[in-house]
Chains A and B, each alone.
Chain A
Amino acid sequence: EVQLVESGGGLVQPGGSLRLSCAASGFTFSSYAMSWVRQAPGKGLEWVSAISGSGGSTYYADSVKGRFTISRDNSKNTLYLQMNSLRAEDTAVYYCAKGCLKQPVDAFDIWGQGTMVTVSS
């Protein structure tokens, strides 16, 4: 069964850091781009970051550029999102999503269940 399981969310103070993980199973992980997409409470979906299948290319939304770092370990079938200098506006459910191609250009065909990140003092 194709599956994505996120972990690492929680409560963090403004200015703090958090690392999210996404464990993949049921498909050849290195063959597909992966992305993080977030959804603030009661709001719409916002693409956050993407990484190519090899990990050699990374992409970021302007809202997180310079603060978040996406990475992947293809030997462990795991995607990561290192989040630094967190702000209240980063509070959201964070989903990892599998791309349809090796490069992040096409749709997200598999989504995890999401992990909640709350930034508050």
Chain B
Amino acid sequence: QSALTQPRSVSGSPGQSVTISCTGTSSDVGGYNYVSWYQQHPGKAPKLMIYDVSKRPSGVPDRFSGSKSGNTASLTISGLQAEDEADYYCCSYAGSYTSYVFGTGTKVTVL
């Protein structure tokens, strides 16, 4: 099972919006509504930001939103803030044999 494809990096100024794409196949992203997104600051454990494509866990700011179209999922951060600078990973369920596949990761830089 190959990793989902994400851009290596994206950047934006404070207050701007950035969108991270996550491209898979019909066997993972396109086949299930179990796409999740994780934020990871250096030296820290990942933190769940979006689950089931577009749902936000309690405590996650509504600046974070998720969507999916076909085999590509997206995470949008609106009103970018300094503390949003981190690595972001998408993850998709990929069936009972493979179970899960993560994305390659995207570094978000706040200019």
- Whether B34 contacts A105 by the Cβ 8 Å rule is yes
CB-CB under 8 A for A59 and B36, given A45-B105, A109-B48 = no
Is B105 touching A44 in the complex (CB atoms < 8 A)? Answer: yes
Pairwise interchain contact A44-B45, C-beta atoms closer than 8 A: no
A46 at the interface (CB under 8 A from B): yes
CB distance from B7 to the nearest CB of A (A): 13
Per the bound structure, the CA–CA distance linking A111 and B57 in Å amounts to: 14
Interface pair A106/B89, CB less than 8 Å apart:
no
Instruction: For residue A72, give the distance in angstroms from its CB to the closest CB of chain B.
Output: 16
Q: Which of B34, B46, B97 contacts A106 (CB 8 A)?
A: B34
Residues of A in contact (CB 8 Å), total: 23
Q: How far is the CA of A104 from the CA of B93 in the complex (A)?
A: 9
* Interface-central residue, A45, A46, A95, A108, by most chain B CB under 10 Å: A45
Residue of B nearest to A113 (CB): B45
For residue B30, CB closer than 8 A to chain A, the reply is no
| Binary per-residue interface labels of chain A (35-48) against chain B in the complex, 1 for a CB within 8 Å, 0 otherwise | 10100000011110
Contact B46 A109 (CB under 8 A): no
Which of these, A45, A59, A61, A62, contacts B46 with CB under 8 Å?
Answer: A45
Taking a contact as CB atoms under 8 Å apart, the answer to whether A107 and B36 are in contact is: yes
Bitwise interface map of A from 90 to 121 toward B, beta carbon under 8 Å scored 1, else 0: 00000101001000111111011110000000
B84 at the interface (CB under 8 A from A): no
Residues of chain A lying within 8 A (CB to CB) of residue B98: 61
User: With the chains together, A50 CA to B104 CA distance in Å?
Assistant: 20
- A111 with B47: CB separation less than 8 A: yes
Q: In chain A, what residue has the closest Cβ to B104?
A: A44
Please indicate the chain A residues that have their CB under 8 angstroms from the CB of B45 in the complex.
Answer: 95, 111-114
What are 8 contact pairs spanning A and B, CB under 8 A?
A: A44-B104, A45-B40, A45-B89, A45-B91, A47-B99, A107-B51, A107-B91, A108-B46
Q: Which residues of B contact A (CB under 8 A)?
A: 1, 3, 32, 34, 36, 38, 40, 45-48, 51-52, 57, 89, 91, 93, 96-105
